[in-house]
Amino acid sequence: MPRAKPVAPPEASPPKGFGIVRSVAPGRHALLDLFPGADRLPIAKKVEPDEGERVRLFRETEIELVDQEIWMYVAPREAPAAFRRQWRPVVSADADCIVIGAAHLRTSPALTLYMDIYHELCHVRQRRGGAELWPPGVSYVRRWTEIEAYRVVVEDARRLGASDEFLREYLKVEWIDAAEYAELLTTLGVPPA
């Protein structure tokens, strides 16, 4: 999904073994070609505890790198009706695909990319399990899919030393209002500023 501004550089870093290949051409790529080692980190087991499913998740999920001012999202199988007028997402009917804005991949802090890719991998796993990622009429901050994905990455970022200030900035997204933002912070146990 698009975001209004980049996240401030964190004081924490992703764990050793998490690679980012920043200089690739737009187009479709294997996930592990852009994020080598992502499948071998402890957070990968939190995203998908079953080893066989985890291997499948990391091997089969693709990345679509686009020249758009966006961060990351899971490409829907078809454009969600609720968004058809405001947003024209990349659609991937036949493959699990995470769409990433080229500028995000090239310039965002490593910890932000780390959190974003695992957040989106949670959504791929959820959808594989039958979850609706864009249920009509459900606030973004009340979707169990978003809460679960954010909880995984926020807990791991804290383990890595991320501050509440960084987490507040990370959770500030342009498609929610101030009340929803406060609710998201509370739900995830991140104190307001």
DSSP string, 151-168: HHHHHHHHHTT--HHHHH
The tokens describing 89, both together, are 């997402």
pTM higher than 0.85? yes
% residues pLDDT > 70 (the chain): 91
- pLDDT tens profile 124-171: 999 999 999 988 889 999 999 999 999 999 999 999 999 999 999 999
3-class SS at 16? coil
Domain ranges of the chain: 27-188
- pLDDT tens profile 10-36: 578 999 999 999 999 999 999 999 999
Question: If residue 30 lies in a helix (H) or strand (E), which one and from where to where?
Answer: strand 27-30
